[in-house]
Amino acid sequence: MHLLVINGPNLNLLGIREPDIYGRGTYNDLCRRISAHAEACGATVEFFQSNHEGAIVDRIQEAYQVVDGIIINPAAYTHTSVAILDALKAVAIPCVEVHISDVDAREAFRKVSYVALVAEKRFAGYGFDGYLMAMDYLIETYHS
């Protein structure tokens, strides 16, 4: 199974950005953990991070007929981007939404997720483990 992990704005600053909320692990630490888990599961994974909505939309579109599943942490775009929702709907690739923090326990505006309208599952508040849980879900569901 070939998976695409997409991370949205400010996730490139993991480790220095609000470590009390997001932890001290860096973006590279996150990618290494996901890669090791993918290898152990017999899957392949590629990563994409952008602070720009249009770049995320472009990457989702480029994934059409190339990847078997998408794990996405749209970050702030979770709550604002109909464009990312529409791109995910258009490509119809199985998708799981991930958030490092428990967004439902934070500010009220974070409870709104456009991506949730298309994502099959959502893992929030599990730190980096949420990405591994998303990967396990996609592998168990679509790779038999």
Residue of 22, 77, 114, 131 marked catalytic: 22
Tokens 């569901």 -> residue: 141
> What is the fold, at CATH topology level, of the domain defined by 2-142?
Rossmann fold (3.40.50)
Of 14, 11, 12, 35, the residue nearest 24 (C-alpha): 14
- In whole numbers, what is the pLDDT of the chain averaged over residues? 94
> Which structure tokens are listed for 88?
């995910």
For the cut 80, the answer to whether the pLDDT of residue 102 exceeds it is: yes
Residue of 37, 77, 99, 114 marked catalytic: 99
* Residue 142 and residue 1 in contact, taking contact as beta carbons nearer than 8 Å: yes
3-state secondary structure of 58: helix
pTM: 0.94
* Residue 73 and residue 100 in contact, taking contact as beta carbons nearer than 8 Å: yes
Q: Indicate if 22 belongs to the active site.
A: yes
Q: Indicate if 99 belongs to the active site.
A: yes
Calpha distance 8→52 (Å, rounded): 8
3-state secondary structure of 65: coil
For the cut 80, the answer to whether the pLDDT of residue 130 exceeds it is: yes
For the cut 90, the answer to whether the pLDDT of residue 111 exceeds it is: no
Residue 144: what pLDDT? Answer: 61
